[in-house]
Amino acid sequence: MLCTMDTALSRSQYVRWRTAIFAIFLASGLSIATWASRVPDIKLALEVDKAQVGMLLLGAGIASIIGISTSPAIMARTGARLGMMVSIFTFASGVALIGIGANVLGSYPVVLIGLVLFGLGNGCVDVMMNVEATAIEQHSGKTILPLFHAFFSFGTVIGAGLGALAAQLQINVFTHTLVVAVAIATIGVISIASVPRRAEALDPTTEDGEKVHWRERMHVALSAWREPRTYAIGVVMLGMSFAEGGANDWLALGVAEDHGGGTALGAAALATFSVAMTVVRVFGGPLVDRFGRVAVLRILSVAAASGILLFILAPSLPLVFVGAALWGVGASLGFPLGMSAAADDPAKAAARVSAAATIGYISFLGGPPVLGFISEHIGLLNTLYILVGLVVLSGLFSGAARPLRTDEMSSQPVAAERVRPTK
């Protein structure tokens, strides 16, 4: 899904497009870390248990799945610009509503509604921005999708850092989330202006430029779900996304309560995780180009499993922080490399990226609530052993991310994705 227009993008237009998508990735990460870093304080403000926190996460997860599943259709009808703009405003509103529910109204249902809006908006925009990012990656001819996800991590680092500072200064959740919501909306308005206006790859046209029937558009969008490789890549993304999402939602609480570190140190540990993940994502592209996706994914699965085990078993807080760092290193590239693998065949990139993103985000956002329910019975740290098993499984399936050979590419481009790369 590069550019379906006859005119190629100029260098300056390409740079602005790339920068805009970087900023949108950052805004998404900022929103998620803002919620995650204040979970202990929200839990205290609402006076709820871990199972009830799990219900909040389930609400966000279900809404995210709805957003993910509907985003291809939304992109086809509205285009990426309008679709991402509406989605950004949706999850920004959700972030603000979380704070209102926690501190102003003291209402569990209002926080839940906020998380539904938060999940719905993030689910939509995450698929859209990843489809845009894979188009930019194919335009550049280099592995740069990890760098886009590094900007997501930049957002989580900023969000976690602000969360730790706010908790330390005893700034209430409402004030914190309101400021972040305004910042996210501002980023959205500024960024969207630089996203190219073009027909979407998921909205195919006939040879004479007419839009095809919606049944054919749906057929193209769903084609990837009939391919075994989609599910193999999905296993890779499932384990790593589960590990990343589990950290975002439960790492701070695990440090605060189970390791006795308090809310400020809990937010600091999440920041450590995010910094480690960000560093690897910044420098991961050249490493992947040199050593290959499969080798990198196998090494990182070992790092992730080791980090989670250390986090669980560490007898002291310094070792807990080391475990959080290794956890972040290991979980860093699973999602972006899975997206890159899905986009190997330009003729089917949009449909496959959408499918891969769906699997990844269902794991990322739907997995943590499951951990919450289980943790209420066996304890949070014991529950994290599930992540160890999933990460190991991800490593075992990493061969699915092998780049496609020429003979494995589509012989004919699908109508939805008949594009002309720009240079």
How far is Cα 158 from Cα 165, in angstroms, rounded to an integer?
Answer: 10
Distance CA 419, CA 412 (A): 12
Q: Mean pLDDT, to the nearest integer, of 13-25? A: 90
Does any domain span residue 181?
Answer: yes
Residue 295 reports pLDDT greater than 90? yes
* Helix, strand, coil content of the chain in percent (nearest 5): 80, 0, 20
Q: What is the pLDDT of residue 61?
A: 79
Helices (H) and strands (E) in the chain, counts: 16, 0
Average pLDDT over residues 7-22: 82
In a domain, 420, yes or no: no
Rounded Cα gap, residues 63 and 56, in angstroms: 11
Instruction: Quote the percentage of the chain above a pLDDT of 90.
Output: 29
Structure confidence at residue 404 as a pLDDT band (50, 70, 90): confident
Residue 114 within a domain: yes
pLDDT of 169 reads: 86
Q: DSSP class of residue 411?
A: S
Is residue 420 over pLDDT 50? no
Q: What angle do CA 104, 106, 111 make, to 5 degrees?
A: 95
Angle formed at CA 387 by CA 251 and CA 68, multiple of 5 degrees: 85
- For the chain, percent of residues with pLDDT exceeding 70: 86
If pLDDT is split at 50, 70 and 90, which confidence band does 213 have? low
Question: Into how many domains does the chain fold?
Answer: 1
Q: What is the C-alpha separation between 263 and 84, in angstroms, rounded? A: 33
Confidence of residue 282 (pLDDT cuts 50, 70, 90): confident
For the domain that residue 46 is a member of, what is the CATH number? 1.20.1250.20
Q: Residue 391: its pLDDT value, please?
A: 94
- Does residue 324 register a pLDDT over 90? yes
Which of 163-172, 226-235, 355-364 is least confident?
Answer: 355-364
Residue 117 confidence (pLDDT): 94
Task: Say what the pLDDT of residue 410 is.
Answer: 62
Give the integer Cα–Cα distance in Å for 147 and 278: 9
Range of the domain at 174: 11-197+213-402
Residue in 417, 367, 391 with CA at minimum distance from that of residue 54: 367
- Mean pLDDT (whole number) for 258-283: 87
Give the pLDDT confidence score for residue 21 in this predicted structure. 93
**pLDDT score for 389:** 94
CA distance 415 to 4: 11
Distance separating alpha carbons of residues 284 and 301, to the nearest angstrom: 14
Distance CA 313, CA 377 (A): 19
Q: What is the pLDDT of residues 325-356, one digit of tens each?
A: 999 999 989 888 888 888 777 667 667 777 88
Q: Which residues contact 406 (CB under 8 A, 6 or more apart)?
A: none
The DSSP 8-state label assigned to residue 403 in this structure reads P
Q: Are the beta carbons of 64 and 248 closer than 8 angstroms?
A: no
Rounded average pLDDT over 161-182: 89
| Spatial separation of the C-alpha atoms in residues 398 and 387, rounded to whole Å | 16
Is the pLDDT at 323 greater than 80? The verdict is yes
Q: Which residues contact 69 (CB under 8 A, 6 or more apart)?
A: 358
Residue 65: per-residue pLDDT:
80
Query: How open is the CA angle 313-314-317, to the nearest 5 degrees?
Result: 145
Is there a domain that residue 282 lies in?
yes
Question: Can you tell me the distance from the alpha carbon of 353 to that of 339, in angstroms, rounded to the nearest whole number?
Answer: 6
Predicted pLDDT of residue 214? 53
Confidence of residue 422 (pLDDT cuts 50, 70, 90): very low
Given a cut of 50, is residue 414 above it in pLDDT? no
The pLDDT score that the predictor gives to residue 350 is 63
What gap in Å lies between CA 240 and CA 243, rounded to an integer?
5
217/176 Cα distance (integer angstroms): 42
- For residue 58, is pLDDT > 50? yes
Instruction: Give the lowest-confidence range in 186-195, 210-219, 279-288, 389-398.
Output: 210-219
Burial class (CB in 10 A: 0-12, 13-18, 19+), 206: exposed
Of residues 260 and 407, the one with the higher pLDDT is: 260
At 77 the pLDDT is: 72
Q: Using CA atoms, how far apart are residues 51 and 368, in angstroms rounded to an integer?
A: 11
User: Beta partners for 205?
Assistant: 211
Alpha-carbon distances of 137 from 66, 83, 134, 165, rounded to whole Å = 27, 21, 5, 35
pLDDT at 189 over 50: yes
Mapped onto helix, strand or coil, the DSSP state of residue 270 is helix
Mean pLDDT of 230-247: 88
Whether 423 is in a domain gets the answer no
Mean pLDDT in the chain?
82
Dihedral, CA atoms, 26, 148, 112, 246, nearest 10 degrees? -120
pTM, entire model: 0.73
Q: Is residue 332 part of a domain?
A: yes
Q: Is the pLDDT of residue 179 over 60?
A: yes
- Say if 324 falls within a structural domain: yes
Whether 416 is in a domain gets the answer: no
Q: Which pLDDT score is estimated for 212? A: 54
Confidence band, pLDDT 50/70/90 cuts, at residue 200? very low
Mean pLDDT of the region 174-179? 92
Nearest Cα to 67, choosing from 133, 21, 135, 116? 116
**Secondary structure (3-state) at 378:** helix
Whether pLDDT at 202 is above 60: no
Contact call for residues 247 and 270 (beta carbons, < 8 A): yes
Higher pLDDT, 370 or 272: 272
- Predicted confidence at residue 185, as pLDDT, reads 93
Task: Report the pLDDT value the prediction gives residue 423, as an integer from 0 to 100.
Answer: 32
Q: Which one is predicted more confidently, 56 or 408?
A: 56
Q: Give the separation between CA 291 and CA 19, rounded to whole angstroms.
A: 27
